[in-house]
Amino acid sequence: MAANDKTIAWTGDVQAEGLEILARGGGMIVSPTKVGYIIMVSDRAGLERKFDAKVRKRNKPGVVLCGSMDELKALAELTPEIEAFYQAHWDRNILLGCILPWRKEAMAKIPDDGSKDFVMDGRDTSCFVIRFGTPSEQLAEALWRDHGKLAFASSANPSGKGNRGLVEGIGERIETEADLIISANDYVASIQPDKDEGSRYEQGVMVAMVDETGKLVPEQKGERSVSPAPIVIRKGLDIDRIMSLLADHFPSWDYRHGQYY
């Protein structure tokens, strides 16, 4: 990827240029996370641009980036057990995404422009992600706190291909289409310092906290064999730590990598 005037180095603080683009609407930026680069948008126009840039079918929902536990609790339906599970990951700075229903009152926060069709599945659930990496967390937190807007995302690479954790790997089409590219290869590399391009995780773990209809799994309250139960549907960064925390919080849970919602 050639150097250009839209590619800037992460300053270590909230990237003001990125925040301005997301806050004004219709924008699309590329930003670093713990597992590589993502496309970040805030509305239908941005989501449309994301799908076009990735040459991707529109039936794969984007994820909802939560820059704080307060934002997560304001947006998603949670049981006390699921909230405690998220909090454990927040406190340990572990990337986690769970499939959850939206709080009814929170749906008003989704732009009334058709964005809902691109960030929810047919059950009105989305993947709510926390602790995805400082550069992008800063943007999501400020976007919510200062502008009351949501951040939606998916990986910044041609559909079906990884970006190898390098800004150079996002592909020419995404580079061309993005309004801004925030570069932080050293930050991304620091998360998995003992991994190379062939062994590093390029995605986070995803856990379904809903049944087949989109209803939250019941609380287990220490009881065994409660069903339906949480299901790990995608392995990724820190899978071992997350499975350990699942075992701490839920006597029953399942592992079915690839059982995407």
pLDDT at residue 254, rounded to an integer: 97
Q: Rounded to whole angstroms, how far apart are CA atoms 50 and 54? A: 6
Please indicate, yes or no, if residue 76 is contained in any of the structural domains.
yes
Please indicate, yes or no, if residue 148 is contained in any of the structural domains.
yes
In CATH, what number is assigned to the domain containing residue 163? Answer: 3.90.870.10
Q: Rounded to whole angstroms, how far apart are CA atoms 170 and 164? A: 9
Q: Rounded to whole angstroms, how far apart are CA atoms 246 and 166? A: 31
Give the model's confidence band at 160: pLDDT under 50 very low, under 70 low, under 90 confident, else very high. Answer: low
> If 0-12 CB within 10 Å is exposed, 13-18 middle and 19+ buried, where does residue 239 land?
middle
> If 0-12 CB within 10 Å is exposed, 13-18 middle and 19+ buried, where does residue 244 land?
exposed
In Å, how far are 25, 36, 46, 82, 128 from 30, measured between CA atoms?
Answer: 15, 10, 12, 30, 19
pLDDT in tens, 38-84: 999 999 999 999 888 887 666 667 799 999 999 999 999 999 999 99
pTM: 0.94
Please indicate, yes or no, if residue 219 is contained in any of the structural domains.
no
Please indicate, yes or no, if residue 136 is contained in any of the structural domains.
yes
Please indicate, yes or no, if residue 134 is contained in any of the structural domains.
yes
Number of folded domains in the chain?
1
Closest CA to 91 of 253, 256, 248, 255: 248
Range of the domain at 149: 7-201
pLDDT in tens, 227-261: 999 999 999 999 999 999 999 999 999 999 888 64
Please indicate, yes or no, if residue 110 is contained in any of the structural domains.
yes
For 97, phi and psi rounded to 5 degrees?
-130, 130
For 159, phi and psi rounded to 5 degrees?
-50, 130
Please indicate, yes or no, if residue 168 is contained in any of the structural domains.
yes
Closest CA to 87 of 63, 66, 103, 107: 66
Please indicate, yes or no, if residue 247 is contained in any of the structural domains.
no
